[in-house]
Homo-oligomer: A and B are copies of this chain.
Amino acid sequence: MSTTAETIKYKANDFKSTAEPRWCPGCEDYAILKAVQTAMAQIGRPSNEHAVVSGIGCSSRFPYYMGTYGFHTIHGRPLPIATGLKISNPELAVWVVTGDGDGISIGGNHLMHALRRNADITILLFDNRIYGLTKGQYSPTSEKGKINKTAPYGTIEEPADPTGLAIECGASFVAQISATYVKELVNVLVEAYNHKGTSFVHIYQNCYIYNNGAFDGFTERSIRDDNNIKVEHQKPLVFGEKNNKGLVMGYGKLEIVEFEPENVPDSVIIYDETDLSLVRMISDMKFPEFPVPMGVIKRVKSPTFDDAIHEQIESAKTKFKPDLEKLISSGDTWEVK
C-alpha cells in the first residue's frame, strides 16, 4: 500500500490511455472513467500497479481508456479472470468493471462465488438497467413492465437487487452510489480500494441512449436529497432536503421520522456498517417508500482468498520441503539391474 509521500504524486491524467473513449455522447460512463482515474491518483500507486479487467458491454470497454494494465475479456467472466490474476500477482491492484448484464445476468454465478471467496479485488458494477452494447434489451435490474426490444409487451420478471445480492453472498465491502455524485463516487472508490477483500461497488449509471432518466426518480438534483440517504459509518441516518428526516428502529423494521434539522432525536440510528442486521435493513429499504441508500453500506474484516491460498502454500512448504526428485521416487520403488 502507498505512503503519503507517494499519494500526492499522481494526477487523474496519469491514468488515461491515448485511446479516445467511444461511448455515446452523454453517457455516464465518462463520469465514472474520470472518477476512477481521480481515485487512482488519490490512491497514489503508479499506473503499472493497477489492472482493470472487464467483461463485455459498453461499460466493459473501460480498460481501453485507462493507462493501466487492462483486459477486456468475454461476457460475464471478468471475475474469475481477475481472481486468477490476483492469485498470480498478489501485489497488483485488481479492478473489475462489469455491467448489470455482464455481472448479474450471464455472470451472476461468478459474482456470487467471488463474493464468497473474498479475493482482494474491487468490483465496479455499472448498472444502467439495460443492455447498452447490444442496443436496448432488458437486463436483470430492469423494472418490471419495462418496454424494450426483447419485451415489447413489457418485462415480466422481478428485478434483481445487486446490492442486496452482494450482501447475501457475504461480500465484505458493499457500496452503492450514483455516477452523478462525482465527489462521493471518488471517495467510495478509494474506500473500496483500501478495503482488503472483495469490494463491491454498485454504481447507478444512466444510459443516455436506451434508458435515459432511469434513475431520475432518486438522482435528479431537485428531488434527490429527499430520495437518497447517505449512509456513513458512525454517522446518524439523516436525510431530506433540509436534513429533516431520519431512520429509527421500529418493531423489527426501520421507520422514517421527521424532525427539525437542529433537533435530531436520539432515536435516529447511528449507522454501523459492521452490524449485519442493520446492513440488511438498510439495503432492503424499498424505494420510493424509503430513500435509496448511497455510500458504504457494509464493511467487515474477513480473510482474503488470495492470502489464504498463499498461506496454505507457505505452510505446506514448511511442512514438506518441495523436493521434486524425492516426490517422484516416493511410494514403492524397485531396482532393475
What is A's interface to B at a CB cutoff of 8 Å? 105-109, 112-113, 116-118, 140, 153, 156-161, 164-165, 167-170, 249, 251-253, 276-278, 280-281, 284, 302-303, 305, 308-309, 312, 315-316
Q: How many copies of this chain does the complex contain? A: 2
**Inter-subunit contact B157/A305 (CB<8 Å):** yes
**Inter-subunit contact B153/A315 (CB<8 Å):** yes
A140, A277, A305, A308 — which one has the most chain B CB atoms within 10 A of its CB? A277
Chain B residues with Cβ under 8 A from A249's Cβ?
251-252
Chain B residues with Cβ under 8 A from A105's Cβ?
113
**Inter-subunit contact A164/B168 (CB<8 Å):** yes
**Inter-subunit contact B153/A170 (CB<8 Å):** no
Nearest CB of B to A36, in Å? 27
**Inter-subunit contact B252/A281 (CB<8 Å):** yes
Chain B residues with Cβ under 8 A from A253's Cβ?
277
Q: In the assembly, what is the distance between CA of A118 and CA of B315, in Å?
A: 47
The 8 Å CB contact of A118, one of B158, B168, B312, is: B158
Q: Show 5 residue pairs from A and B whose CB-CB distance is below 8 angstroms, ordered by the A residue.
A: A113-B140, A118-B158, A158-B302, A160-B169, A160-B170
The 8 Å CB contact of A116, one of B157, B164, B280, is: B157
**Inter-subunit contact B160/A312 (CB<8 Å):** no
A140, A278, A303, A308 — which one has the most chain B CB atoms within 10 A of its CB? A308
**Inter-subunit contact A312/B156 (CB<8 Å):** yes
A252, A284, A303 — which one has the most chain B CB atoms within 10 A of its CB? A252
**Inter-subunit contact B108/A112 (CB<8 Å):** yes
**Inter-subunit contact B156/A305 (CB<8 Å):** yes
Q: In the assembly, what is the distance between CA of A105 and CA of B113, in Å?
A: 8
Chain B residues with Cβ under 8 A from A316's Cβ?
153
Chain B residues with Cβ under 8 A from A161's Cβ?
168
Nearest CB of B to A160, in Å? 6
Q: In the assembly, what is the distance between CA of A153 and CA of B319, in Å?
A: 12
Q: In the assembly, what is the distance between CA of A280 and CA of B161, in Å?
A: 15
Known: A112-B108, A165-B168, A277-B281. A153 touches B252 (CB 8 A): no
Chain B residues with Cβ under 8 A from A116's Cβ?
140, 157-160
Nearest CB of B to A79, in Å? 12
Q: In the assembly, what is the distance between CA of A280 and CA of B140, in Å?
A: 22
Q: In the assembly, what is the distance between CA of A309 and CA of B151, in Å?
A: 11
**Inter-subunit contact A309/B156 (CB<8 Å):** yes
A156, A281, A308 — which one has the most chain B CB atoms within 10 A of its CB? A156
